Chains A and B, each alone.
Chain A
Amino acid sequence: MSFAAIHIPDFIVQAIVRSEPTLRGRAVAIVDGTPPLWSVVATNPAALQIGIELGMAKSQAAQFTAVEIRHRSAAQEKTAHEALLDLGWSVSPRVEDTAPDTVVVDLAGLGVLFGPDEKIAHELATRSTGLGLNARVAVAATSIEVAVLAARGFPGVTLIEPGEEAKSLSGLPVHRLLPSFEILETLARWGVETCGALAALPVIQLSERLGQEGVRLHTLARGAFERSLVLAKPSVSFQEEMELDDSVEELESLSFLLGRLLDQLCARLAARSLSARAIGMEFDLERSFEKDLQRSARSGQQKLVPRKFEKILTLPVPMRDAKLLLKLVRLRLQADPPSAAITKITMSAEPDRPRTTQRGLFLPASPEPEKLELTMARLANLVGEANVGSPQLMDTHRPDAIRMERFRLAQAAAAGGRKKKLNTSPFESAGKKTRADIAGAEKPANGFRFFRPDVPARVELRDGLPARLFFNGLRGEVVAVAGPWRTSGDWWQEPWDQAEWDVEVRFSTSSQTSKRAANSFHSAKSVNSRGLYLIYYDARQQGWFLRGSYD
């Protein structure tokens, strides 16, 4: 019986390099953190050699021109890990998922298929290159941990003969045994730096001092630690990816590919008696600098348009009807299409148990959740995703600040609401209460009708007060005015600065055009009569707008 440990050194870096082969052989530093403050979290030896250090700020690392800086990608690490598991499974069904960067394969009985252990080890190393990874492989005759330690500690392919375990490991630093911080510190105080030095300590006396953990480390250091293989459980994540040789721009062509991926996902889910609670889509977009520049110039932003386009289709109930899912996905993409041609699709399903709810006999009929979802998606396609849902007030002075929350059926909302109540931070609840209190204390006399989006207007001032109002072809005399009411804020990110006025406007009816415009914009009732409006001057846009009207 023997075991092969496969280890990917500098795993975080290799995970990135795997998807960007041009980086191979170059100095690479991976940064992570809260934007815009990133620091180096991983490097390869080439980067260390030119002076990059872990913890260095991104801007400091950027001063080294020879280093390639990339952002850490959990997704790429995950797929690299899955590839590593695949590597193990490619030779044996008995694979242990030891760590993100390490797997162990039971080589028992593989000799018939692949030859001696050494050959298998070299085969694994070669296959790893094919998967875009540069793996270290170590084979140990009896101990899984010896194989793992050797793979982590020695480059290339290592074969440890039976009886040679302790000798082979003796030069490895003790931290490779992954002791607790406290024990590592004690060992450092003792001057015990290598596995050999640890193995040389008398085990009974060591147990008196470091307890069972000490004995375990001692056994590990001697290469005598034995345990059973913990077989890797089949994956609970369902993900399919498709790299496209030619980028796809048309939704129709894309639908075909999406359908295929969804079929595969749904088939896998069905095999495990599961459904999908959500479908995640990630599209790699083709980089077009000209387009990006045009777009950034239009939006006035410095940063380039991102290269990825992500969509998550959250489902009201778990489902695995591929056709229905495709419809929903299509509608979602129609409403908010990717900004460039697609070069890669990653589709994943969040598994969940299928819906088994039995409807109550006396409950009022409500639409099928699947159909409701389809309807909501169609609505979103028509009016825009940001305009569908239930509006929620936000804790800010910014006028008209709302966020759209997902619309839910009363039952689901009640259940969710209960759940949410538990999770609501005291601040949020306090804020809402205050708002409600104010609303309650000062009940508005009139209802207010928001115009969304705000309507651009022209205002003539007299003595600093609005005197005439022009909007959408309408013209009106301001007969009464109150204000201004000023708000400004968010000065640290996207500032706003507005002065609101409540105006009573008497519309002029002389022009037929005005009439038509008024009819098209507003109810005919307000033409030839007065209206109460809330207008505002936006100091940042330097323009007037109508926020809405009072009923």
Chain B
Amino acid sequence: MYTELHVRSAFSFLAGASLPEELASVCAEREMEAMAVLDRDGMYGAPRFYLAAKKINVRALIGAEVTSEEGWRYPLLVESRQGYQNICRLITRMKLRAQKGEGQISREELENGASGLICLTGGEEGPLAHAMASGGMDAATKCVQQLGEIFGSRNVYVELQRHYCRDEEVRNQRALEIAHKLNLPILATNGVCYALPEQREVLDVFSCVRHHRMLATAGRLLARNAERHLKSTAEMQKLFADLPEAIANTQVLASRLQFTLNDLGYQFPIYPVPDGRSQMQFLRDRTYDGLLSRYGEDNERARKQIAHELDVIERLDLAGYFLIVWDIIRFCARQNILVQGRGSAANSAVCYALGITAVDPVGMELLFERFLSEERGEWPDIDLDLPSGDQRERAIQYVYERYGKLGAAMTANVVTYRGRSAAREIGKAFAFDVEVLNRLTSLVGAWEYKDANDTLERQFQDAGLDLQHPQIRKFCELCLRFQDLPRHLGQHSGGMVVCQGQLDAVVPLEPATMPGRVVVQWDKDDCADMGIVKVDLLGLGMMAVLEDSLKIISDDYGEEVDLSRLPANDKLVYSTLQKADTVGMFQIESRAQMACLPRLKPTCFYDIVVQVAIIRPGPIVGQMVNPYLKRRQGREPANCLHPSLEQVLARTLGVPLFQEQLLRIAMIAAGFSGGEAEELRRAFGFKRSEKRMREVEYKLRRGMEKNGIIGETQETIIRSITSFALYGFPESHAASFALLAYASAYLKCHYLAAFTAAMLNNQPMGFYQPPSLVTDAQRHGLRVRPIDITCSDWLCTLEKIDGKFAVRLGLRYVKGLRGDIGAEIVRERGIHSFTSVDDLKRSVPRIQKEELAVLAEIGALNKLGNQRAFHRRSALWQVERTARSSGPLYERSDDSGADVFVDSSLDDSGAASSPLAPMNAEQRLVADYRGTGMTVGPHPMSYHRAELQKMGVRCAAELACLPDGMHVRIAGGVIARQRPGTAKGFVFLSMEDETGIANAIISPQLFEKCHIVVVHQQFLLIEGQLQNQDNVVSVKSQRIEPLTITHAPTSSHDFH
């Protein structure tokens, strides 16, 4: 029996071509009991390999190829936990002192960390081959002797690989001599780089990517043949028929390698508790303190729930974890950083009492077991939302400081090949020229929905590639094979892991591209799967908007708004939501949400929770949306599935909408415990397995039968659970988001100017782009002032005009204006007001001509001329002169004050009278969009309203008043295009005009016909049937035509 002990997976980043799961699966097919994956300088693929192997009863042996200072790679296998810790530390050490993606280990380091490791002499990149090539037999013998000294002679195996290569066999014969001479065991391996022979092509392209070569010129950098695949015992026995000992030794060595990732030795850090109390006692005290402030003294239900939760936490020994998260929350509170826990943590009354979350789980009857259960044996998952940007960075740095460089790290994000990146890199290897590559990658986009025709092949055809050409066919084939293969390691946006003591003994750490950041080699799922506790410090744009809004309100309005004390049932908020007037509001602003709001008509906070959760794939795929809305409108009875479930489903009118309801249904109808119910959710979740689902379903049916639920009712319940579990949304998570949605709605309704300024200052975020946010705010009566060099700050600010607040656009919206120049402009302006373009240039000498020209073009310099007729072109005329450095003769004399050879056309302010004609409306529009991406003037459509009316085009605001079924023509600028995965190929367009947003629906057939127009044209004329039901208005398109409204480069937010 043969065991493959030298395999590189695709996590060797461009040096292996198969995912660990595929390797494990082929290993099982080849009937091998174990296999060792040795990725390059890392443990990147180890968790995925371990988990995949575990499922199919393959023993996952671990190791790594570690790069030496001399350039060779030691293949190291982990024998024991100490070996694992050593190899993790070795890799961490070499990585942290080098540039990202580099690093070498010294002999001394290896000597100090060799215990528990077994070293192979390697293949063509190994120490033996290297020594033999450079110094012949003597050097090779010496090299192997040295390995014996470092690792101990018992722990060195002379590795033999046979890939049908002459020079390799020469080396093998010499290696055999050395093994014999030094009395070392020999070991057969296949130096595997891919699971199946055909994947050699992927490896060849990877080699090109790695060496920045093309296939045609890569020569012998490419593989000699396709023999580095995973071979069966029979194949290997045949290859090594003359050396049966080499095969037998694989078994012997495999049996020595007892370490698996099951035995990581990870410990969560201990929170330093004062006064010698236990962590648990300290947590209890803090929780009960919170209980009093959150619930008061008399809330017995809350007290009981908290007691229950604390008991569970104590039994699971998780007090330290809660205290550490609480510690981060306290830091944020001290630093005035807005923070809110979300996700399943919001199910916990302890989290609520500790101030980690803001949703009352007792009041909302949320299910604690969704968060934490004794049966599951998993770490809880607490996600903290922080304002994106600097505030979140401060929280992250705090965790680093608190737990030390080797005690905390960010989780990684494995960047994988997708359509565009694959096409680009393979295209380069195929030597396609840059223009073709750009055309190709710009077209290889993908809508969320893909119809049968929307294949990669079709996209390539659209890009002008001839698929009959064999090379192009091969290119397309490779693009498909590249999908999901790892490209490099990135940094996860917020996941942090912490460890008691040395995290580098658990998983190797490496430097992130961002200075001061360290990342672990595993992504967040791997960390969770390996039982490493993760705290997600996520940046949420809306948190930053709320925080900024509060500051603006405090500074400009002179009012203090406390988000935790917002009026609970603000009428204006609810009436606004009912009208779906929600542009800019968190989570309820999308087209789909807007289409639902007038039907759902929220009247209380819980309705917002439902609203947030209902437009999700779960309810949509599970066909829950329409029944719920019909019941809500009283059009069908709110029957629960079974009388016993009334308590669970009554709140959602008998329609299960949340994951918690699903768990409770299982608990009530089938007598499941909380943990079993959570197990059920997982069984039907994303990583579903048929076997596990069948087992759980059987258990569910048996439980229901016991409770007398049989027949049709049982089937309905089973159907609901199985269809919904996949995409369900936790109620606690929805509630956390609903809080933010309500807060954003409240601020928008009552402090529109502040909210708009904050939204504009935190772009990009949300569903709409800045021009749409501005247009929406203007429709609500807010005045938005253009950028003006004499009063705009870097950020958007408020000004008071006629007693009303207006938003002044900030310099941040000037395209191409550098941040430091913007800051300098504001600083200099604080010292003295600019009097002319020349004065501006003198005050901010580093400003470049192009920056000045953009400022002039958008009208930001209009106030610098002292004539009334000073317009954008006057400023441009002036900028051109100012930016051109004059010779010394033309400089003003400072000493005498006399002007020498000064242009006679200059007036007192130094501004020349301009011979240029002022811009017309269209030219101003083009300049605004080109220079700022938006206009604060009239909407482009408004300039053509008269002609459009003659054409019978209705404006967006009119549509709501027209009858359902009417044939209409609408026109507007496209602000969003969507093709959701759940919409069976339908495309949804949001089109904006000066009166509002109109929605159009395009059938797959029409989309097929008008694909180019729909995707590429910014202004469209659409003719079709009006659908106006329950105040939800859209046009079912029948004909689509492009419109020429403006040459301004408007843009849209496309969800491809």
Contacts and interface: CB of A to CB of B under 8 A. Distances in A.
Given A395-B220, A491-B474, A492-B215, A205 B464 contact: no
B915 A201 contact: yes
A397 B224 contact: yes
A190 B876 contact: yes
Interface string B904-916: 0100000010011
Interface in B184-203: 200-201
Nearest to A201: B915
A208 interface: yes
B133 A205 contact: no
Nearest to B226: A488
- Interface of A, secondary structure class, is mixed
Contact of A499 (B164, B213, B468, B886): B164
A59 B464 CA distance: 5
Contacts of A208: 881, 884, 886, 903
Interface string A85-113: 00000000000000000000000000000
Contacts of A412: none
Contact of B220 (A56, A396, A442, A493): A396
A489 B223 contact: yes
A34 B919 CA distance: 43
Nearest to B872: A189
A191 interface: yes
A190 B225 contact: no
Contacts of B40: none
B884 A485 contact: no
Interface stretch (B338-346, B433-441, B642-650, B787-795): B433-441
Given A33-B436, A37-B432, A37-B433, A491 B461 contact: no
B167 A36 contact: no
A54 interface: no
- What class of interface size applies to chain B in its complex with A? 35 or more
B165 interface: yes
Given A34-B432, A202-B915, A205-B903, A493 B853 contact: no
Interface string B456-471: 0000010111101111
A83 B200 CA distance: 55
Q: Which of B217, B225, B884 has the most CB of A within 10 A?
A: B225
Given A441-B133, A492-B215, A487 B224 contact: yes
A201 B877 CA distance: 11
Interface in B740-794: none
Max chain A Cβ within 10 angstroms of own Cβ: one of B225, B464, B880: B464
Contact of A210 (B165, B167, B880): B880
Contact of A33 (B136, B433, B469): B433
B4 interface: no
B222 A186 contact: no
A349 B215 CA distance: 36
B288 interface: no
A486 B133 contact: no
A59 B460 CA distance: 11
B464 A37 contact: yes
Given A190-B873, A485-B165, A36 B466 contact: yes
A200 interface: yes
A257 interface: no
Contact of A34 (B200, B436, B857): B436
A77 B493 CA distance: 56
Interface string A426-439: 01000100110110
A317 interface: no
A487 B170 contact: no
A36 B224 contact: no
B196 to A, nearest CB: 14
A59 B466 contact: yes
Nearest to B919: A191
B880 A209 contact: yes
A484 B164 CA distance: 6
Contacts of B432: 34, 37
Contacts of B886: 208
B466 A191 contact: no
Contacts of B468: 302
Contact of A396 (B219, B474, B475, B877): B219
B465 A189 contact: no
Contacts of A375: none
A101 B917 CA distance: 36
B222 A489 contact: yes
B1038 interface: no
A81 interface: no
Contacts of A491: 200-201, 204, 474
A60 B881 CA distance: 46
B923 interface: yes
Interface string B889-926: 00000000000000101000000100111010001000
Interface string B163-174: 111110010000
A211 interface: yes
Contacts of B953: none
A492 B223 contact: no
A58 interface: yes
A202 B905 contact: yes
A194 interface: no
B227 A486 contact: yes
A491 B471 CA distance: 9
A39 B435 contact: yes
A192 interface: yes
B915 A200 contact: yes
Given A34-B432, A209-B877, A209-B884, A442 B165 contact: no
Contacts of A427: 213, 217, 219
A366 B470 CA distance: 50
B39 to A, nearest CB: 25
A58 B877 contact: no
A48 interface: no
Nearest to B905: A205
A302 to B, nearest CB: 8
Contacts of A59: 461, 464-466
A58 B468 CA distance: 14
Nearest to A431: B219
A36 B905 contact: no
B324 interface: no
A248 to B, nearest CB: 35
A189 B857 contact: yes
Interface in A390-442: 394-397, 427, 431, 434-435, 437-438, 441-442
A23 interface: no
Contacts of B903: 204-205, 208
B837 to A, nearest CB: 12
B581 to A, nearest CB: 39
B436 A37 contact: yes
A293 interface: no
B471 A36 contact: yes
A190 B219 contact: no
B464 A58 contact: yes
A367 B923 CA distance: 76
A437 B136 CA distance: 13
Interface of A: 33-34, 36-37, 39, 56-60, 186, 189-192, 200-202, 204-205, 208-211, 302, 394-397, 427, 431, 434-435, 437-438, 441-442, 483-489, 491-493, 499
6 contacts: A36-B469, A191-B873, A191-B923, A200-B915, A202-B915, A208-B886
Given A58-B464, A189-B857, A437-B133, 17 more contacts: A34-B433, A34-B436, A36-B471, A37-B432, A57-B465, A59-B461, A59-B465, A59-B466, A186-B876, A191-B923, A205-B915, A208-B886, A209-B880, A427-B213, A486-B227, A488-B225, A492-B474
Closest 9 CB pairs of A and B: A57-B464, A395-B219, A209-B880, A486-B164, A486-B225, A37-B436, A397-B224, A59-B464, A488-B225
Interface of B: 133, 136, 163-167, 170, 200-201, 204, 213, 215-217, 219-220, 222-227, 430-433, 435-436, 439, 461, 463-466, 468-472, 474-475, 853, 857, 873, 876-877, 880-881, 884, 886, 903, 905, 912, 915-917, 919, 923
